[in-house]
Amino acid sequence: MRLVAGLGNPGEKYRRTRHNLGFLVIDVLAARGDARAARDLGDAWVAEADVAGAPALLVKPLTFMNRSGVPIERLMVQQGLSPSDLVVVVDDAALEIGTLRIRERGAHGGHNGLRSIIDLLGTDDFPRVRVGIRKGDPPEDLAGYVLSEFPPEDVLVVQEIVGWAADAVACLLREGAEEAMNRYNGPRRG
């Protein structure tokens, strides 16, 4: 069993914001993986699904971004999972929209959701899929930028990259991080 967590913020106010790309990827994986037993546990939305032919627990923490690690750590303990069983999907303002960056481990890079997970697990040794959200120069007001919605002209690109990120997660689970990095790191091709 693998735990795939997409990070975001709960509530209608944040549903279409850049910071919620992780939630959108989980929604695609749930739809593709015939999600079952979906439930709201208060601090997380959780569903069982088949991802790349293997059982996975899909998770959207509902604790707001900076406390994402709380339900993830709890679910990992309950399921008897180790950090290597975890895959985290996050937005990344350092990457141009339409770009993915998969890593087997690493620092939080200023992302508060990753920081929370790393702090609570006591390790950064878990794979993550970073999904680019920046268009143009880095924003001066990063918090305002990540909490804003994509402009209408970017909606189709966002839909494509969310599907592509879901493909990358499936590849990571099926074929491992190295193959996923070779195939998906960089800008969307084709």
Indicate left, alpha or beta for 136 from its phi (over 0: left) and psi (-120 to 50: alpha). Answer: left
Q: Looking at residues 71-77, what average pLDDT do you find?
A: 97
Token pair belonging to 58: 């899909």
Q: pLDDT of 22-58, one tens digit each?
A: 999 999 999 998 888 888 888 999 999 999 888 999 9
- Is pLDDT above 70 for 190? no
Mean pLDDT, the chain, integer: 94
pTM: 0.95
- Work out the number of other CB atoms within 10 angstroms of the CB of residue 123: 14
* pLDDT for res 109: 83
- Work out the number of other CB atoms within 10 angstroms of the CB of residue 148: 15
> Both ends of the chain: CA-CA distance in Å?
32
CA atoms within 13 A on the CB side of 170: 18
Token pair belonging to 37: 């037993």
Beta bridge partners of 58: 4, 47
Q: Looking at residues 54-73, what average pLDDT do you find?
A: 95
Q: Looking at residues 100-115, what average pLDDT do you find?
A: 92
Query: Which residues are annotated as catalytic?
Result: 19
- Is pLDDT above 80 for 189? no
Helix (H/G/I), strand (E/B), else coil: 95: strand
Q: Looking at residues 79-87, what average pLDDT do you find?
A: 96
Residues 6 or more apart whose CB falls under 8 angstroms from that of 148 comprise 17, 18
